[in-house]
């Protein structure tokens, strides 16, 4: 029996999401991003990308049903995000993740141990799932399989609540995509982050065996999903807004596409302190066969890629490179030039303790000046925001200031 109060809440929020996502303003933003991502000169876009929701969204959730509560969270976050005034594009559909079969112990069939410093700590230590490379045989070979019965039940429940208010898209893609397909993220859990670094010098042959197993498993699962028709245009991912001239627009529905119709996102955060040579030997060469199946690639999350841009030129379909708070913006701009888009990410701590216009403006102007000197195509993304002190106004003020500075961007 459905909770009528929960359903009423979801319907109200779904109607609001549909209205803002279908607005003329969103149509203009989509065209704006198509131009930007395809190397046409526009004002550098400004986007805010998550992390603050535990302060500004979670305390206001009211749905009692956990299933409904998940969608309430997404809808409330969307409505809040719209109030920030950035250039993000909201889509007029709700995404329901299909129930996809995953081995016991996680996507590789073996479980790591994670210990937090205390119950409130965001930092944690990973004890790897594999004590030695002799245990690779314990790992599960990936198999893409959708639990059709459970997925249908979930769809029916959500459609009964909001189906008349908002299109529902079922994400049937493989579990081995995004973070689960970049190899780097899961490698840290399989071996532990410190041990992984030791492996490069102490046990390179064993590490290569593990990396080969992971690469082949990811390719297998992704190909199985493609053969089953389970990749769709709603599965773009570039940690930004995935509109471009070269690729078809994001869209809901069951019409299948090949991976070459999609943006792919890959990162290497666990390799931040590794040399370019080791990065290539122990990661990039294994990522390349996975990346080459996608239409366009965005590379990098929070890691410093300053010394690795030359190496990344091996990625033939690379379009976006992250320039993080830990990177040297000047050196990145000089190397990237007009060859790729600079996904510039100022430090989220800029809004952690208040809003200091002079400080924030100084950082943005300094780095944007370097991008301008090198005629870079650039966008500004404030992401991984752990706290804004429960004050959304800081994000609004940041967006306004970043747009002011972007308006003055000259090449």
Q: Cα separations (Å) of 274 from 199, 205, 281, 282, 386? A: 12, 17, 11, 10, 26
Contact predicate 258/224, CB 8 Å: no
Domain ranges of the chain: 4-407
Amino acid 114: pLDDT:
77
Q: Cα separations (Å) of 74 from 17, 34, 81, 110, 353? A: 10, 25, 10, 30, 26
Amino acid 123: pLDDT:
76
- Which of 183, 177, 186, 265 lies closest to 222 in space, CA to CA? 177
Q: Cα separations (Å) of 100 from 103, 129, 136, 150, 289? A: 10, 22, 23, 9, 24
Q: What is the mean pLDDT of residues 288-301?
A: 98
Give the distance from CA 225 to its chain's centroid. 20
Instruction: For the chain, state the CA radius of gyration.
Output: 22
Distance, in Å, from the CA atom of 261 to the CA atom of 314, rounded to the nearest integer, reads: 20
Q: What is the mean pLDDT of residues 16-28?
A: 96
Three-state secondary structure call for residue 124: strand
Amino acid 386: pLDDT:
92
Distance, in Å, from the CA atom of 183 to the CA atom of 174, rounded to the nearest integer, reads: 15
- Quickly count helices (H) and strands (E) in the chain: 14, 10
**pLDDT band at residue 214, thresholds of 50, 70 and 90?**
very high
B/e letters for 223-242, b = 16+ CB within 10 Å, e = fewer, are ebbbeeebbbbbbbbbbbbb
Q: Would the pLDDT of 120 be above 70?
A: no
Amino acid 245: pLDDT:
98
Q: What is the DSSP string of 140-151?
A: PPP---B-HHHH
**pLDDT band at residue 3, thresholds of 50, 70 and 90?**
confident
Q: Which CATH number is associated with domain 4-407? A: 3.20.20.210
Q: What is the mean pLDDT of residues 225-229?
A: 97
Q: What is the mean pLDDT of residues 370-389?
A: 97
Amino acid 311: pLDDT:
97
Q: Would the pLDDT of 117 be above 80?
A: no
B/e letters for 321-350, b = 16+ CB within 10 Å, e = fewer, are bbbbbebbbbebbebbeeebbbbbbbebeb
Measured distance between the N- and C-terminal CA atoms of the chain, rounded to whole angstroms: 60
Residues 6+ apart with CB under 8 A from 374: 333, 334, 336, 337, 338
Amino acid 42: pLDDT:
97
Q: What is the mean pLDDT of residues 349-353?
A: 95
**pLDDT band at residue 119, thresholds of 50, 70 and 90?**
low
pLDDT averaged over every residue in the chain: 95
Amino acid 404: pLDDT:
98
Q: What is the mean pLDDT of residues 302-326?
A: 97
Least confident span in 99-103, 327-331, 339-343: 99-103
Instruction: Check the CA dihedral 65-68-70-74 and report its sign.
Output: negative
Amino acid 303: pLDDT:
96
Amino acid 224: pLDDT:
98
Amino acid 359: pLDDT:
97
Distance, in Å, from the CA atom of 253 to the CA atom of 93, rounded to the nearest integer, reads: 10
Amino acid 217: pLDDT:
98
Q: What is the DSSP string of 69-84?
A: HHHHHHHHHHHHHHTT
Q: Which two tokens stand for residue 36?
A: 């930007």
Q: Which two tokens stand for residue 7?
A: 């359903």
Q: What is the DSSP string of 155-198?
A: HHHHHHHHTTTSEEEEE---SSSGGGTSSHHHHHHHH-HHHHHH
Amino acid 116: pLDDT:
72
**Percent of the chain at pLDDT above 70?**
98
**pLDDT band at residue 115, thresholds of 50, 70 and 90?**
confident
**How many other β-carbons are positioned within 10 Å of the β-carbon of residue 59?**
9
**pLDDT band at residue 121, thresholds of 50, 70 and 90?**
low
Strand partners, 167: 93
Interval 158-212: pLDDT, tens: 999 999 999 999 999 999 999 999 999 999 999 999 999 999 999 999 999 999 9
Amino acid 118: pLDDT:
67
Amino acid 54: pLDDT:
94
Distance, in Å, from the CA atom of 235 to the CA atom of 176, rounded to the nearest integer, reads: 13
- Which of 78, 82, 88 lies closest to 46 in space, CA to CA? 88
**pLDDT band at residue 254, thresholds of 50, 70 and 90?**
confident
Distance, in Å, from the CA atom of 36 to the CA atom of 89, rounded to the nearest integer, reads: 13
Reduced to 3 DSSP states, what percent helix, strand and coil does the chain have, rounded to the nearest 5? 50, 10, 40
């Amino acid at each position: 029996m459905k909770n009528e109060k929960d359903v009423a809440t979801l319907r109200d929020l779904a109607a609001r999401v549909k209205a803002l996502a279908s607005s003329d303003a969103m149509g203009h933003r989509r065209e704006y991003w198509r131009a930007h991502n395809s190397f046409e000169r526009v004002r550098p876009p400004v986007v805010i990308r998550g992390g603050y929701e535990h302060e500004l969204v979670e305390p206001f959730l009211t749905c009692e049903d956990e299933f409904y509560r998940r969608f309430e969270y997404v809808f409330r976050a969307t409505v809040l995000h719209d109030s920030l005034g950035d250039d993000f594009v909201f889509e007029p559909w709700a995404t329901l993740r299909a129930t996809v079969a995953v081995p016991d112990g996680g996507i590789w069939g073996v479980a790591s141990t994670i210990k937090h410093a205390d119950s409130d700590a965001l930092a944690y230590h990973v004890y790897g799932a594999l004590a030695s490379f002799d245990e690779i045989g314990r790992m599960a070979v990936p198999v893409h399989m959708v639990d059709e019965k459970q997925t249908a039940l979930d769809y029916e429940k959500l459609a009964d609540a909001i189906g008349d208010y908002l299109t529902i898209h079922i994400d049937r893609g493989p579990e081995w995509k995004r973070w689960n397909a970049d190899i780097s993220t899961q490698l840290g859990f399989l071996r532990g982050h410190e041990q992984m670094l030791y492996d490069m010098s102490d046990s390179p042959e064993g590490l290569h065996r593990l990396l080969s197993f992971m690469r082949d498993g990811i390719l297998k699962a992704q190909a199985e999903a493609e053969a089953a028709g389970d990749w769709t245009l709603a599965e773009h991912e570039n940690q930004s807004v995935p509109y471009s001239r070269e690729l078809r627009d994001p869209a809901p529905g069951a019409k299948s596409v090949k991976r070459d119709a999609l943006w792919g996102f890959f990162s290497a955060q666990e390799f931040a302190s590794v040399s370019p040579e080791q990065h290539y030997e122990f990661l990039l060469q294994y990522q390349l066969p996975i990346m080459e199946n996608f239409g366009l690639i965005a590379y990098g999350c929070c890691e410093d890629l300053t010394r690795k841009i030359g190496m990344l030129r091996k990625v033939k379909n690379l379009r976006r490179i992250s320039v993080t708070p830990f990177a040297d913006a000047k050196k990145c701009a000089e190397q990237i030039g007009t060859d790729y888009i600079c996904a510039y990410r100022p430090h989220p701590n800029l809004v952690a303790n208040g809003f200091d216009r002079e400080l924030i403006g100084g950082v943005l102007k300094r780095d944007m000046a370097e991008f301008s000197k090198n005629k870079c195509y650039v966008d500004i993304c404030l992401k991984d925001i752990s706290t804004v002190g429960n004050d959304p106004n800081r994000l609004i003020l940041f967006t306004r200031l970043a747009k002011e500075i972007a308006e003055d961007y000259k090449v």
